[in-house]
Amino acid sequence: MKKTFLVLLTLMCVCCCASFADDGSNLWLHKATGDKAAVTLHAKSTPTTDIAIKELTDGWNGGAVNLAITKQKGMKRDAFSISRKRGFVTITSPSDIGLLYGAYRLLQMQTLGTVSEDFELTDSPFHDIRLLNHWDNLDGNSERGYAGKSIFWHVQGFPETLGQNDVADMRNNPLRNTTYARANASLGINGAVLNNVNASPKMLTTEVLQMTQQYADVLRPYGIKVYLAVNFSSPVIVGGLKTADPYDKEVQRWWKQKAKEIYNLIPDFGGFLVKANSEGQPGPGDYGRTHAEGANLLASAIRPYGGIVMWRAFINNPTDPDRAKQARIEFEHLDGQFLDNVIIQVKNGPIDFQPREPFNALFDALKLTAEMPEFQITQEYLGQSNHLAYLGTMWEEFFHEVMPYANYKANQLRARYNAIAGVANTGTDADWTGHPLAQSNWYAFGRMAWNPDLDAETIANEWVSLTFPKLDAKQHQTLVAMLMRSREAVVDYEMPIGLHHQFGDSHYAPGAWDNRPIRRDWLPVFYNQADAEGIGFDRTKATGTDATSQYHPDFGNVMENLSTCPDKYLLWFHHVPWTHRCQSGRTVWEELCYHYQNGVNEARQLQRQWNSLEGAIDPDIFRDVQIRLMTQTRDAEWWKDGCLLYFQSLHGMPFPDFLDPPVHTLEECKHSRLNVGLYRSPTHEELNKVR
Ligand code: GCW
């Protein structure tokens, strides 16, 4: 009796621990079923097929599985087919990585409940290169990272103390590393730039290259290539040369030598990502050379090995009074001058990852040069890891614009390299992304990189089912609804009707009044152009900066014309009087009030919806998100009060009746330090200590 009781108690403990031990670290990955599936491989075994077999053996509970390599004409290397006949599953692909992708898809379908007795499907990625860009620094910090420290680099006092044991999380914590690799592979993400685009020249030292090699070895079996962001001055700083001029023979030799060293260590090294002559970074412009001359220097060094150079179009130097026009101005005239292993990496919008931007007019401007979009998964301007902002809806909007108006698909398909990148939101926090629900953004990026035709809601449904499989239908719908409205809520309180870049220094708190003596085109007042008469940034051909002409007329003319410009872009393209009537029928002043209020209301609604899930979600995660949502509502109020009181101070009009009266004064808002004391989720190590 005593023994039975003890066994029962132990069992209860195990069950309780199992159900309460969810720290979010498993992401959307399936859990082992306990059964062992019979998996047969009809191909040469590789480390990648070993992983596929293990995943299926542990995770699949629907009968035997066959894995086979089949070469089919016209089938992409990463594509796969899955068929199930009389309960017997066969996965085929031209490659081992395709088999792994197929295995993950099958396991996802199992959790989603979409496996039927007989079915057949084939899937193939649209983009060939699907990358995460980690803005991680060697010292362990991550630029615009809000989920703890870098998962790659924790090098104290680099390089003096660099020793064999001085390695990052990846090696110290293999389980966690494998999760990173599995998570990416489960989505088809096949590359990672391991460091910040504001790149330390030390990345190209032999010590760091050796560490990079270790990452490459861990990630390779999962089909993930490593890439590095490099500093254009590396030949000077690391190589000790006098110049980094692309036309200098020594410099050319240095890059060739470096490429050789890298490929000796990492034969499948992906290539370089470069931020040049932007925000203080060195570049070919320092020597009177063009971006093409700079990019080709690096591209020719790694071309023999099959490497690529991703050259960023984010050239944030004041060469035109309107920053929104800059990328196109800088690159259009260089079309045709780049080597064919150079891809121009273009932020989705023309300014800088704002909560809503029209697409960057550089897309479709280049006819002979490959371009790739850069999304920002980390929420630099969308409440960081405090606010819920599911970005699937933002990227869906991007693809809906860029496909018809910038020939997106045709341009991608004609290029030798067809790629897409997302700035990662990963860090050492136990749940990887700071905000537990921000995992959905990593997931959505991967899914859309694979298939840009997927809609945000389908992806949200998938993610919720995979991450919270125990929710009932109503709870599931509640969470999906939260995700689907969340980004628009942030837009409402941070940039209603196209009013962009209203951030204080931290890119977090409101700063509509900010007029410090710094670069004008970094300041909110420059972008709102608000005064007693009106508000908005005039980018029309008729009276403004003429950014509208950079677009295809089918898009540009609609934006140019005040009567056709949609309200969501009104203040992006137009400067209008406060009394201007929006398409909604309200005046601009009323419309702004309406959206700020709506943003607060929506934030409150998110709180209510989340609270209704109490008991259905792991208590730690529930509480974590609950606190973040409180912060979000508080911040939405600061945004509403701060911006509206400031605009009112310019024109003196009363608030409409529907507006909740402010609870802060303008002075308070000006001195709010919202970004101080951000709620931070615990790291993996911290959680392990308390458990
Ligand atoms: O969005 C801005 C960020 C910088 C970033 C830069 C860029 C890596 O505020 O932190 O630097 O863009 O994209 O290069």
For residue 275, the ligand 1 atom closest to its alpha carbon is 14
Among candidate residues 23, 352, 492, 624, the one labeled active-site is: 352
Interval 406-449: pLDDT, tens: 999 999 999 999 999 999 999 989 999 999 999 999 999 999 99
Q: Rounded mean pLDDT of 458-483?
A: 97
Ligand 1: residue whose CA is nearest its atom 11: 198
- Tens digit of each residue's pLDDT (9 = 90 or more) over 64-75: 999 999 988 889
The residue to mutate among 143, 196, 347, 376, having the most atoms of ligand 1 within 8 angstroms of its beta carbon, is: 143
Cβ(353) to ligand 1 under 6 A? Answer: yes
Q: Does the annotation mark 686 as catalytic?
A: no
Q: Is 144 in the pocket of ligand 1 (CB under 6 A)?
A: yes
**Ligand 1, atom 1: nearest CA belongs to which residue?**
352
Only one residue has tokens 């700079």, namely 294
From 377, 380, 508, mutation site for ligand 1 pocket: most ligand atoms within 8 A of C-beta: 380
3-state secondary structure of 344: strand
* Mean of pLDDT values over 347-373: 97
Please list, in sequence order, all residues whose beta carbon lies within 8 angstroms of the beta carbon of residue 538, skipping any fewer than 6 positions away. 529, 544, 545, 573, 574, 575
pLDDT of 628-654, one tens digit each? Answer: 999 999 999 999 999 999 999 999 999
How does pLDDT run across 290-328, given as a tens digit for each residue?
999 999 999 999 999 999 999 999 998 777 889 999 999
Helix pair 473-494, 456-467: axis angle to 10 deg: 130
Q: Is 197 in the pocket of ligand 1 (CB under 6 A)?
A: yes
For ligand 1, is residue 522 a contact (CB within 6 Å)?
no
Q: What is the 294 CA–ligand 1 centroid distance (Å)?
A: 20
Q: What is the mean pLDDT of the chain?
A: 91
Supply angle C-alpha 127, 130, 132, rounded to 5: 155
pLDDT of residue 689: 59
- Which 3 state secondary structure label does DSSP give 342? strand
Whether 256 is in the pocket of ligand 1, judged by its Cβ within 6 Å, is no
The CB-side HSE value for 50 (13 A sphere, CA atoms) comes to 5
Please give the residue that has the higher pLDDT: either 21 or 447: 447
d(CA 22, ligand 1 centre) in Å: 33
pLDDT tens, 527-578? 999 999 999 999 999 999 999 999 999 999 999 999 999 999 999 999 999 9
Instruction: Please identify, by atom number, the ligand 1 atom nearest to the C-alpha of residue 198.
Output: 8
DSSP code at position 78: T
Q: How far is the CA of 628 from the centre of ligand 1 (A)?
A: 24
The CA 470 to ligand 1 mean position distance, Å, reads 39
Q: 133, 137, 198, 518: which to mutate for ligand 1, most atoms within 8 A of CB?
A: 198
Distance 279 CA to ligand 1 centre (A): 8
pLDDT at position 652 is: 98
In this prediction, residues 103-109 reach a mean pLDDT of 97
Quote the ligand 1 centre to 525 CA distance (angstroms). 20
For the question of residue 279 being annotated catalytic, the response is yes
Q: Is 442 in the pocket of ligand 1 (CB under 6 A)?
A: no
- 590 is a catalytic site residue: no
Establish whether residue 314 lines the binding site of ligand 1, counting it when its CB lies within 6 angstroms of any ligand atom: yes
Domains and CATH numbers, the chain: 31-123 (3.30.379.10), 129-467 (3.20.20.80), 491-537+575-670 (3.90.1330.10)
Per-residue pLDDT, averaged over 322-338, amounts to 96
Question: Which segments of 283-353 does DSSP mark as H helices, in order?
Answer: 291-302, 326-332
Q: How many Å apart are CA 679 and CA 385, to the nearest integer?
A: 8
Dihedral over Cα of 145, 147, 150, 155: its sign: positive
Structure tokens at 531: 């005064």
Question: Is 431 a pocket residue for ligand 1 (Cβ < 6 Å)?
Answer: no
From the CA of 381, how far away is ligand 1's center (Å)? 11
Q: Is the CB of 295 under 6 A from ligand 1?
A: no
Query: H-type helices in 220-268, by residue range?
Result: 234-237, 249-265
Evaluate: CB of 143 within 6 angstroms of ligand 1. yes
**Mean pLDDT of all residues in 177-200:** 95
Q: How far is CA 15 from CA 4, 238, 296, 442, in A?
A: 16, 55, 59, 30
- pLDDT tier at 676, thresholds 50, 70, 90: low
Percentage of the residues of the chain whose pLDDT score is greater than 90: 83
How far does the centroid of ligand 1 lie from the alpha carbon of residue 424, in Å? 13
Please tell me the distance between residue 79's alpha carbon and the centre of ligand 1 in angstroms. Answer: 34
Candidates 293, 371, 380, 624; catalytic one:
380
Q: Kindly state the average pLDDT of the residues 352-380.
A: 97
Q: Which value, to the nearest 10 degrees, does the dihedral of the CA atoms of residues 482, 488, 491, 492 take?
A: -90
Q: Which atom of ligand 1 is nearest to the CA of 353?
A: 1
Q: Is the pLDDT of residue 132 over 70?
A: yes
Q: Distance between CA atoms of 545 and 505, rounded to whole angstroms? A: 25
Q: What share of the chain is helix, strand, coil (3-state, %, to 5)?
A: 45, 10, 45
- SS3 string of 118-170? CEEEEECCCCCEEEEECCECCCCCECCCCCCCCCCCCCCCCCCCCCCCCCCHH
- Closest atom of ligand 1 relative to the 423 alpha carbon: 13
Confidence (pTM): 0.94
